[in-house]
C-alpha cells in the first residue's frame, strides 16, 4: 500500500501540520485556488457534510498554493469548519503528482489538479480520486467512507 509522503505545511493560522496529524482517517483534498467557483462549491460541500464525516471518524484538510491570508479569507467568507494548508512552493503537490500541466481557455500552465486522497491512521493512502468533479465529488466521498466504516 502506498504511503502518504512526509510533509510539513502551515495551516491558515500558521500552525505546522505534519504526518503526525494523520492519526485518524483523513480526507486531504487538493484544489486549484481559493474563492473560485468550483473550489468554493467543493469546500462548501465538505463544510455542509462535516457532521457526517466526523461521525465516520474522518478529519479533513484542504491544500492549495494560496497564502495563509487567502486561506483565512476563504474560510471566513464561506464559514469553513476545517483547516486549509499552504503549499505555496507546491512541494507536497509535486510529490503526489497533482501539480501538473493544465489547459484552460487555449493556454497551458502549471497548477494543482483537483485531487482527493483518503489516508488511514498509519499514513497509508486508501483511495485516490484524480480530476475530481467539484459538484458531484461529495456523494462519491460519502459513499466510499460509509462503505468502509
* Catalytic site positions: 39
Query: Cell numbers of 49, please?
Result: 457534510
**What's CA 66's distance to the chain center, in Å?**
13
Quote the DSSP letter at residue 5.
P
Cβ-contact 125, 2 below 8 angstroms? yes
CA atoms of 107 and 9, how far apart (whole Å):
30
CA distances for 139 relative to 22, 35, 50, 106, 132, angstroms: 23, 22, 13, 31, 12
Which class for 97: exposed (0-12), middle (13-18), buried (19 or more C-beta within 10 A)? exposed
Amino acid at each position: 500500500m502506498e504511503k502518504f509522503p512526509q510533509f510539513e505545511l502551515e495551516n491558515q493560522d500558521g500552525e505546522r501540520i505534519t504526518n503526525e496529524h494523520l492519526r485518524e482517517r483523513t480526507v486531504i483534498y487538493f484544489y486549484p485556488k481559493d474563492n473560485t467557483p468550483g473550489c468554493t462549491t467543493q469546500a462548501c460541500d465538505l463544510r455542509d457534510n462535516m457532521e457526517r464525516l466526523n461521525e465516520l471518524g474522518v478529519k479533513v484538510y484542504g491544500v492549495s498554493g494560496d497564502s495563509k491570508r487567502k486561506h483565512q479569507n476563504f474560510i471566513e467568507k464561506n464559514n469553513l469548519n476545517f483547516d486549509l494548508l499552504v503549499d505555496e512552493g507546491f512541494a507536497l503537490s509535486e510529490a503526489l503528482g497533482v501539480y501538473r500541466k493544465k489547459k484552460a481557455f487555449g493556454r497551458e500552465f502549471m497548477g494543482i489538479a483537483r485531487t482527493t486522497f483518503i489516508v488511514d491512521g498509519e499514513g497509508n493512502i486508501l483511495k485516490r480520486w484524480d480530476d475530481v468533479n467539484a459538484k458531484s465529488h461529495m456523494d462519491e466521498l460519502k459513499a466510499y467512507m460509509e462503505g468502509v466504516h
